[in-house]
Amino acid sequence: MAPSSKPRQCLVTGANRGIGLEFCRQLLERGAEVVATARSPGRANDLNHLAGEYPGRLHVLPLDVTEAKSIAELVRELPLVVDGRLDLLINNAGVLHSGERFGHVTSTNLDDSLRTNASGPFLLTQALSEALEDGARVANISSQLGSIENTTGFYTPTYAISKAAQNMATRLLANALRERGIVVLALHPGWVQTEMGGPDAQIPPTQAVEGLLRVIDDAELEQSGRFFDYNGDPMPW
Ligand code: NDP
């Protein structure tokens, strides 16, 4: 895919709410075909409503990014909905365990954060690598909380550790896929008004996703393996 061309066949994880749902909305508005994944498609009311507005262009499939079987099932089903080809993969699904304090951080939270935020995007991208067109793009939705350089204090530790690990996964995937012209990015969406971001967050999902799609559309191979915010400004690792 040439730089600045718009992806036509896209897959978004964690698409039933928040930033993932907004990615689907904006991609559909601009004419793309979207595979939207959710852990429980039967309960994904907003997503299913959106599918009704775009018959034949929004395909809702189940995916729990922490389950190898679920990833394998998605890979098997993909050819049935988009001839098995993708030019954009958005690893958006994520989890944040709030209220963690030093001395009380649990291995359960740490395992869940690492599996959802780091292993999930890495293993899904690996599993879908054959489905990605040469020149495709992979957007790993990271967070400024995963930036080691920006970290002071002891906030959201299991989330921060897992997003830092995801950032390493982004760089490694970029290196593995570079020879096929595939661009892999780590992207901070801003502090966004979603269930995770909470009511005090600074920007609505519409603004975050408009910015993120601009960064994804404009990304060239030289930017692959790097970390940017939704304005396209570089983020420190
Ligand atoms: P939400 O909490 O609103 O949505 C999270 C989504 O991830 C839901 O669809 C959820 O599904 C899904 N999800 C969680 N665990 C899994 C799993 N194991 N398998 C598949 N899907 C899963 O969060 P946001 O929309 O705000 O966040 C989207 C991304 O943006 C995340 O990666 C987050 O870390 C990142 N981000 C968000 C910021 C913000 O301010 N909101 C700031 C920085 C980064 P379910 O409904 O089934 O739980």
Q: Closest Cα to atom 8, ligand 1: which residue?
A: 14
Ligand 1 contact, 192 CB (< 6 A)? yes
- Confidence class for position 133, pLDDT limits 50, 70, 90: very high
Tell me the pLDDT band of 7, cut-offs 50, 70 and 90. confident
Q: Write down the H helix ranges in 37-136.
A: 45-53, 68-82, 107-113, 120-128
How do residues 217-237 score in pLDDT, each as one tens digit?
999 999 999 999 999 999 999
Q: What is the pTM of this model?
A: 0.98
pLDDT at 197: 98
In degrees, to the nearest 5, what angle opens at C-alpha 146 toward C-alphas 21 and 191?
45
> For residue 81, what is the DSSP state?
H
Query: Please, are residues 62 and 13 in contact by the beta-carbon 8 Å criterion?
Result: no
Query: Span 9-229: which CATH code?
Result: 3.40.50.720
Domain coordinates in residue numbering, the chain: 9-229
pLDDT one-digit tens code per residue, 42-55: 999 999 999 999 99
**Rounded Cα gap, residues 52 and 112, in angstroms:** 33
Query: What is the position in ligand 1's atom list of the atom closest to the CA of 22?
Result: 25
The residue whose CA has the least distance to atom 19 of ligand 1 is 64
Residues 6+ apart with CB under 8 A from 128: 11, 75, 78, 86, 89
Q: What percent of the chain has pLDDT over 90?
A: 96
pLDDT at 84: 84
Amino acid at 169: A
The answer to whether residue 82 scores a pLDDT higher than 60 is yes
Q: Over the Cα atoms of the chain, what is R_g?
A: 17
Residue 139 three-state SS = strand
201 lines ligand 1 (CB under 6 A): yes
Q: Is the CB of 14 under 6 A from ligand 1?
A: yes
CB distance 147 to ligand 1 below 6 Å: no
Ligand 1, closest atom to CA 17?
A: 9
Model confidence at 6, in pLDDT bands (50, 70, 90)? confident
What number does the ligand 1 atom closest to the CA of 18 have?
25
Tell me the per-residue pLDDT of 143-161, one tens digit each, with 9 for 90 and over. 999 999 999 999 999 999 9
> ipTM greater than 0.95, yes or no?
yes
